[in-house]
């Protein structure tokens, strides 16, 4: 039986920055909450920094958003149910003011030589500089948008009531590296795809985010363009299921994601 490794607590100064708020730029940061992808990034980085992982690569990050966080220090507890030379499983919980804010399961695994099979190809898309910038009506721009550049390849108009809420776009982070944590942020850095099917700007919060990294995932410096395909699988009953695929500019699949949102109509 593998002995239980004691939990580790991240430094108490892990603070969600107001610049990653979901609030409108026209409102004080306190009226919104930190971006869900950014919180997942914090959870990942605070966890892997506490454990010696050597050559293990990111495989899966699952994060549940239990309650709304504040702009205050966040304590992050990390448990290691199992760790070997080939894999590591982490269980993570984030607290503020005695309340659970986030809970996550992270998995890392070693890459081994072997067959490579990628049946899907990167979607056809013009170069980012040939595509128009993303557009949201005034007052709907989230704070975290200032960290990214967006170019729309194809998508219906926002709040157009489109029959298929699907979007293909280029995204790059200007000041964040494209590492495992950065990918979590990037995959939640676009406006919700259900905005394409909606006719009104319904408030929404992320409740569950899962990202699976491919073995083609490689870390890059800030500024690398990523082609992201997003689509709504179903929006009903106040809940929305969204899928996303992320591709490198060179045509390699980087990660896939599924997100469950609570939508307030």
Q: Domain segments of the chain: what residues?
A: 1-110, 144-265
Q: Check whether 30 has a pLDDT greater than 90.
A: no
Q: What is the CATH number of domain 1-110?
A: 3.10.129.10
Helix or strand holding residue 43 (H, E): helix 36-48
Q: Check whether 3 has a pLDDT greater than 90.
A: no
Is the distance from CB of 240 to CB of 191 less than 8 angstroms?
no
Question: Which letter does DSSP use for residue 146 in this model?
Answer: G
Task: State what percent of residues in the chain have pLDDT above 90.
Answer: 69
Distance CA 188, CA 210 (A): 11
**pLDDT digits over 205-216, tens only?**
899 999 999 999
Instruction: State the chain's mean pLDDT as an integer.
Output: 88
Strands 75-83 and 87-96: antiparallel
Task: State what percent of residues in the chain have pLDDT above 70.
Answer: 86
Q: What residues have CB less than 8 Å from 262, skipping those under 6 apart?
A: 204, 205, 206, 207, 238, 239, 240
- Find, among 80, 71, 82, the residue nearest to 50 by Cα: 80
> Is there a common fold for 1-110 and 144-265?
yes
Domain 144-265 has CATH 1.10.580.10: no
Average pLDDT over residues 85-97: 94
Distance CA 36, CA 262 (A): 13
Number of alpha carbons in the 13 Å side-chain half-sphere of residue 100: 10
Average pLDDT over residues 19-47: 75
């Amino acid at each position: 039986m593998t002995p239980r490794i004691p939990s580790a607590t991240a430094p108490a100064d892990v603070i969600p920055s107001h610049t990653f708020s979901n609030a409108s730029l026209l409102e004080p940061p306190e009226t919104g909450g930190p971006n869900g992808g950014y919180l997942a990034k914090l959870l990942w980085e605070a966890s892997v920094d506490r454990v010696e992982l050597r050559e293990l690569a990111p495989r899966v990050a699952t994060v549940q958003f239990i309650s709304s966080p504040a702009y205050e220090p966040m304590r992050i507890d990390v448990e290691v149910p199992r760790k070997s030379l080939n894999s590591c499983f982490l269980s993570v919980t984030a607290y503020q003011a005695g309340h659970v804010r986030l809970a996550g399961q992270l998995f890392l695994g070693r890459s081994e030589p072997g067959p490579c099979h990628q049946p899907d190809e990167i979607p056809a898309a013009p170069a980012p500089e040939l595509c128009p910038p993303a557009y949201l009506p005034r007052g709907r721009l989230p704070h975290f948008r200032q960290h990214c550049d967006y170019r729309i390849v194809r998508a219906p108009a926002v709040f157009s009531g489109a029959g298929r809420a699907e979007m293909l776009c280029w995204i790059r982070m200007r000041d964040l590296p494209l590492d495992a944590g950065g990918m979590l942020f990037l995959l939640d850095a676009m406006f919700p795809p259900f905005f394409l099917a909606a006719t009104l700007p319904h408030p929404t919060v992320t409740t569950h985010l899962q990202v699976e990294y491919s073995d083609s995932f490689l870390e890059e410096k800030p500024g690398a363009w990523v082609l992201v395909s997003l689509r709504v699988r179903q929006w009903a009953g106040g809940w929305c299921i969204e899928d996303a695929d992320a591709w490198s500019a060179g045509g390699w699949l980087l990660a896939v994601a599924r997100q469950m949102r609570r939508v307030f109509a």
